[in-house]
Amino acid sequence: MSPEDRRRAQDAPIVPPAPGSVADLFAAALPDVEFVASQGLIDVILFVDRKDVHRVLERAKHDPKLGFEFLRNLTGMDYEEQGLEVVYHLYSFANKHNVTIRCKVPAADPVIASASDIWRAADWHEREARDMFGIVFEGHPNLVPLLLPDDMLDHFPLRKDNPLAPLEEWQGEMLGSAMGDAGHIPPGSGFEVEAAAAAEEA
């Protein structure tokens, strides 16, 4: 998919959830918080402002009608010019319902309140999101690298502007003439792939 097609795919229409959905429970529990609700393939999706997200998450867990005691997943997304996003997937065992909460953060100021004081599982999820996207979770008790080396604080592998050329160069230096046998070689890498092509024909 080209970058242009990818951007178009991001602009999916907002489909309002059916009346009586979990979106209505959030609206009743937090009448002064503005959010946009959309029906996803499985979950109701709530788009929440960064200034409100910690309060929304806290209420999501502790309000009995919501009861989202389980943080299924927390991850980051990169929407390029539109900024970054933190996505929370929640489930309630007591009420048997799901919700996805999404919150945009600008790439120039990727700071958001930590949810580690609400769900202990957020601790490692947030460390991974910091490693991969450079999102800073304010209030996290130990926001140190989880997957990357301790000194790699300015390189975020899952951002779409992450340069791959230095990695390709390093792979080429390590593999030398065997680089052509390494599988898919990205266009523009500068490495010849005749050896791999000959092997496939044989």
For 127-186, the pLDDT digits (tens) are 999 999 999 999 999 999 899 888 877 778 888 887 765 665 666 676 666 655 655 555
Residue 85 shares a structural domain with residue 156? yes
Residue 133 shares a structural domain with residue 176? no
Look at residue 8 in the predicted model and tell me its pLDDT: 55
Look at residue 162 in the predicted model and tell me its pLDDT: 78
Q: Using the predicted structure, report yes or no on whether residue 102 has a pLDDT greater than 70.
A: yes
Residue-averaged pLDDT of the chain = 85
Residue 61 CB-half CA count within 13 A: 18
Residue 84 shares a structural domain with residue 169? no
Domain count, the chain: 2
Q: SS3 of 54, please?
A: helix
Say if CB 56 and CB 101 are below 8 A apart.
yes
Look at residue 14 in the predicted model and tell me its pLDDT: 86
Mean pLDDT of 58-73: 98
Q: Using the predicted structure, report yes or no on whether residue 50 has a pLDDT greater than 90.
A: yes
Residue 21 shares a structural domain with residue 64? yes
Residue 82 shares a structural domain with residue 154? yes
Q: What is the pLDDT of residues 168-185, one digit of tens each?
A: 566 667 666 665 565 555
Residue 85 shares a structural domain with residue 179? no
Q: Using the predicted structure, report yes or no on whether residue 3 has a pLDDT greater than 80.
A: no
Mean pLDDT of 104-114: 97
Say if CB 164 and CB 186 are below 8 A apart.
yes
Tell me the CATH number at 79.
3.30.460.80
Residue 33 shares a structural domain with residue 120? yes
Residue 167 shares a structural domain with residue 82? no
Question: What is the domain extent for residue 145?
Answer: 3-162
Residue 171 CB-half CA count within 13 A: 17
Residue 157 shares a structural domain with residue 169? no
Q: What is the pLDDT of residues 189-199, one digit of tens each?
A: 555 545 444 44
Residue 158 shares a structural domain with residue 173? no
Look at residue 189 in the predicted model and tell me its pLDDT: 52
User: What's CA 130's distance to the chain center, in Å?
Assistant: 10
Residue 62 shares a structural domain with residue 127? yes
Residue 167 shares a structural domain with residue 128? no
